[in-house]
Chains A and B, each alone.
Chain A
């Protein structure tokens, strides 16, 4: 019995195939999903999604969204998803530095909210690459 995983973003289908297990970051912590999991619906935080296919782990950076786990069918709807193999390490590092600079410069509630969001996204991308190299 394998899980069917579907990761959708507003402009394309990032992943649509069978997997053995996934580890998902939600607002209330990380959850691992194995076959025959109880059906739940959960919000997905800006974080890492790890997918296991036959003892091989694939990492993906998710930019927040929603996950619905049904009868061995997982649908994850996110704003944006990037496979760690598609992320350029240097570019991700640069984006992180820019985001940090923006956060320290931010004034006012609005700019703080925006700066925080972009910082979290940049950090997730860098983490995804680091996790791959482990």
Chain B
């Protein structure tokens, strides 16, 4: 006697079936539509196991969401800490640029020459479970590489982050100069390694243009991959290749020698340090030498800022993904519980009916 005749006559879905259960249930009706909400057909024991699994998963995703939220805050603070450096640097650079505007200054890092080869620094994350974050960056980098190949330019990649490293080592069609892996937090040391690499590539004329592909952190829910030109450092202007065609990507951000406003929407305080510019500033060395010393600093701080913003975006993406996963887990648990209770009640009702029927059968017929 099947107790399942009391429940609604729907067959178990194939992926839910316990290996032994097909013999216990009725033959499937392949064309019946499930009622709304779709009901889950499974044995009681399997349902109980599934509920436990979903409960555990829920705990994990919730914990990951909280951890990501805490780390986003730290990442934001790191970006803010880098602000005094960037502001002072820009101030002084601007000052020197004004004085040197009339002179003919040749500094290697501002050398605009016809482009044969481009280096691309691609910043990805180390771990997964962050929604479409890594994929978005890699797709953008991929598109850019195709674009450059179509223009007949060589391309070299410096990959930062385990996910990017795995992608490019599998790919093989693009030459990778160096794989860099940051720890949990990008520090000046990693930025220095990348900056050294980029610097030597540019100065030895192996490449003529360096771009960085990173994720710009606009707000906690909005972050987009962007391409920014690192070298050559020009105040404005486009970089052209041998044929005079402009090879900048569309929506490329130019390397601007201006201060940026607070880019993180959460905190918008612009702390202005009182710095009285002395009217007469003597240069201890040649202005060219001083510029030579400062531009690598600017390069470093730009790279570090790219890394930090990417990290903040990755954490925000992970937070959103884990939040969705937690909500899904709650809903799934609810559905499973409803199905479990239904099965349980059906079983109990079946047993009661058996007992009552049996008792009835024992009453002597008068």
The interface of chain A, by Cβ under 8 A from chain B, is 8-13, 26-28, 31, 38-44, 63-66, 68, 70-71, 73, 75, 77-80, 109-111, 113-114, 117-118
B36 CB within 8 Å of chain A? no
- Determine whether the beta carbon of A39 is less than 8 Å from that of B278: yes
Closest to B291 in A: A43
In the assembled complex, the Cα of A64 lies from the Cα of B301 at a distance in Å of: 13
Residues in B neighbouring A39, C-beta threshold 8 A: 278, 280-282
Within 8 Å CB of A26, what residues of B?
Answer: 284-285
Inside 8 A of B281's CB, which chain A residues have their CB?
A: 39-41, 68
Q: Which residues of B contact A42 (CB under 8 A)?
A: 283-285, 290
Judge whether B282 and A114 touch: CB under 8 Å. no
Residues of chain B within 8 A (CB-CB) of A71 are: 276, 278
User: Which of A8, A31, A38, A118 lies in contact with B88, CB distance below 8 A?
Assistant: A8
A66 near B294 with CB under 8 A, answer: yes
Q: CB distance B187 to A11 under 8 Å?
A: yes
State whether B188 touches A64 (Cβ < 8 A). Answer: no
Contact for B192 among A12, A79, A110, CB less than 8 A: A79
Give chain A residues whose Cβ lies under 8 Å from the Cβ of B188.
9-11, 79-80
Tell me the complex Cα distance, A108–B295, Å: 24
23 A-B contact pairs sorted by A residue (CB < 8 Å): A10-B85, A10-B304, A11-B81, A11-B187, A11-B188, A39-B280, A40-B283, A42-B284, A43-B290, A44-B293, A63-B192, A64-B293, A64-B296, A65-B293, A66-B92, A66-B290, A66-B294, A70-B275, A71-B278, A77-B92, A77-B294, A110-B206, A113-B199
Of A28, A40, A65, which one neighbours B282 at CB under 8 angstroms? A40
Q: Check: B226 CB closer than 8 A to any chain A CB.
A: no
Measured between beta carbons, the chain A residues less than 8 angstroms from B277 are 70
Residues of B within 8 A of A79 (CB): 188, 192, 296-297, 300
